[in-house]
């Protein structure tokens, strides 16, 4: 395989800055997005994700630095940039008094697309987004999820080389969220370059080839989800979840006494979470000692699993703060213990 050529980078962001008065919303940000990649900007409220997207989409002028999309400068060649991009913005942009199809027609015309092209592409995207049967209904009657589908179809009408999705599943029900994520994965398979923002770790992890973690306008880390997670697991920590019959206080004490065991959290009457720092014998030795200690105390292991770090742990390690609570996302019960464990390794 040949090395990656610079022209493969369809987005080049170089030292980008945006100030609002004396507040710096985007603080010298630099990154590149490869052709065909799904690139995520992950960060808490107010991190500067949308401001970055708006600058890349030519909607907001940078205070400093440069950005190029498909080779065009977002300030000096804004109209060429716009030809190559589609944007699904944070706020829905639809006219309630127009039907789904009329909305698409209107936006297609604003983009100077010929009527026939608009109709063909509207057919295509409405079908792919499973909205064909609703095309002649007023947008005002649609659920948020249906509106978002039309919004996505609208962004795709000019067959963009780069699709920007700003929090594409925010506020959607789980079923719609799943189908939108699946749709994004389909676009990815077709080779579209996608840049999305999210504050949901699971979303970043599921969809993105690479993730930039943004905090206070700065990109504090940039890697694949796996690479980011190695940031917190590379020091070799091992977290085990155990379900044990006959779990007793003395058993917990004996486990606690093992040299590798750093701490133990009780999860319930029969389960616990054990944080260990493997020694020379590695994880295998920790496992066998743990198992032996439990057996010696007459316990039986019903379930044993290792707990993987999450991007939340990465964020916590990098910033010392937790991200916004993700009530809408499925999270492991009592993940807080693991969070605290992550703080200790800083």
Ligand X SMILES: Nc1ncnc2c1ncn2[C@@H]1O[C@H](COP(=O)(O)OP(=O)(O)OP(=O)(O)O)[C@@H](O)[C@H]1O
Q: Which residues bind Mg ion (CB under 5 A)?
A: 49-50
**In terms of CB distance, is 9 or 167 closer to Mg ion?**
167
Contact criterion met (CB below 8 Å) for 240 and 273:
yes
71: left (phi over 0), alpha (psi -120 to 50) or beta: left
**In terms of CB distance, is 51 or 103 closer to ligand X?**
51
Pick from 194, 197, 196, 203: nearest CA to 225: 203
* Interatomic CA distance for residues 174 and 206, integer angstroms: 15
Characterize 91-114 residue by residue with b for buried, 16 or more Cβ atoms within 10 angstroms of its Cβ, and e for exposed: ebebeeebbbbbbbbebbeeeebe
For residue 45, state whether it binds ligand X (rule: CB under 6 A).
yes
For residue 61, state whether it binds ligand X (rule: CB under 6 A).
no
> Which residue of the chain is nearest Mg ion when measured via CB?
50
**Span near ligand X by CB under 6 A; candidates 39-47, 202-210, 289-297, 325-333:** 39-47
**Span near ligand X by CB under 6 A; candidates 45-53, 123-131, 226-234, 288-296:** 45-53
Collect all residues with Cβ–Cβ distance below 8 Å to 192 and sequence separation of at least 6.
36, 160, 161, 162, 163
Q: Report the run of H or E that residue 154 belongs to, with start and end.
A: helix 144-156
Pick from 313, 301, 128, 130: nearest CA to 213: 313
Taking CB under 6 A as the rule, which mask of x and - marks residues 166-185 in contact with ligand X? --------------------
Q: Which of 33, 38, 42, 47 binds ligand X (CB under 6 A)?
A: 47
Pick from 155, 207, 149, 216: nearest CA to 182: 207
Pick from 169, 225, 239, 159: nearest CA to 197: 169
**In terms of CB distance, is 43 or 86 closer to ligand X?**
43
User: Which SS3 state, helix, strand or coil, does residue 134 take?
Assistant: helix
Taking residue 218's Cβ as centre, other Cβ atoms within 10 Å add up to 17
**How many residues make contact with ligand X (CB under 6 A)?**
11
Q: Which of 11, 16, 25, 81 binds ligand X (CB under 6 A)?
A: 25
Residue 51 interaction partner, one of ligand X, Mg ion, none, beta carbon < 5-8 Å per kind: ligand X
**In terms of CB distance, is 193 or 197 closer to Mg ion?**
197
For residue 161, state whether it binds ligand X (rule: CB under 6 A).
no
For residue 20, state whether it binds ligand X (rule: CB under 6 A).
yes
CB of 48 to ligand X, least distance (A): 4
Residue 45 interaction partner, one of Mg ion, ligand X, none, beta carbon < 5-8 Å per kind: ligand X
Contacts with ligand X by CB under 6 A lie at 20, 25, 43, 45-51, 199
């Amino acid at each position: 395989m040949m090395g990656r050529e610079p022209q493969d980078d369809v987005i080049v962001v170089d030292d980008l800055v945006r100030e609002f008065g004396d507040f710096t919303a985007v603080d010298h940000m630099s990154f590149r997005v490869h052709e065909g990649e799904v690139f995520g900007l992950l960060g808490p409220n107010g991190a500067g994700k949308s401001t970055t997207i708006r600058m890349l989409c030519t909607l907001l002028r940078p205070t400093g630095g440069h950005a190029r999309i498909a080779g065009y400068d977002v300030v000096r060649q804004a109209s060429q940039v716009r030809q190559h991009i589609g944007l699904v913005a944070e706020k829905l942009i639809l006219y309630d008094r127009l039907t789904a199809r009329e909305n698409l027609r209107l936006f297609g015309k604003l983009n100077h697309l010929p009527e026939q092209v608009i109709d063909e592409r509207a057919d295509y995207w409405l079908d792919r987004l499973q909205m064909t049967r609703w095309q002649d209904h007023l947008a005002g009657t649609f659920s948020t999820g249906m509106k978002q589908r039309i919004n996505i179809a609208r962004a795709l009408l000019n067959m963009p080389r780069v699709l920007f999705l700003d929090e594409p599943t925010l506020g959607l029900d789980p079923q719609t969220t799943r189908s939108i994520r699946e749709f994004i994965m389909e676009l990815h398979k077709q080779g579209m370059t996608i840049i999305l923002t999210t504050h949901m770790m699971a979303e970043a992890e599921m969809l993105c080839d690479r993730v930039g973690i943004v905090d206070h306008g700065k990109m504090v880390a940039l890697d694949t989800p796996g690479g980011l997670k190695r940031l917190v697991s590379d020091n070799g920590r091992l977290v085990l979840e155990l379900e044990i019959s006959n779990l007793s206080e003395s058993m917990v004490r004996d486990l606690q006494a093992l040299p590798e065991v750093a701490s133990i959290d009780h999860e319930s009457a029969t389960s616990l979470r054990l944080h260990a720092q493997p020694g020379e014998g590695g994880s295998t030795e920790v496992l066998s000692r743990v198992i032996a200690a439990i057996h010696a105390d007459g316990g039986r292991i019903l379930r044993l699993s290792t707990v993987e770090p999450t991007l939340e742990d990465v964020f916590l390690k990098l910033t010392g703060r937790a991200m916004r609570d993700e009530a809408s996302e499925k999270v492991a019960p009592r993940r807080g213990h693991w969070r605290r464990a992550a703080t200790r390794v800083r």
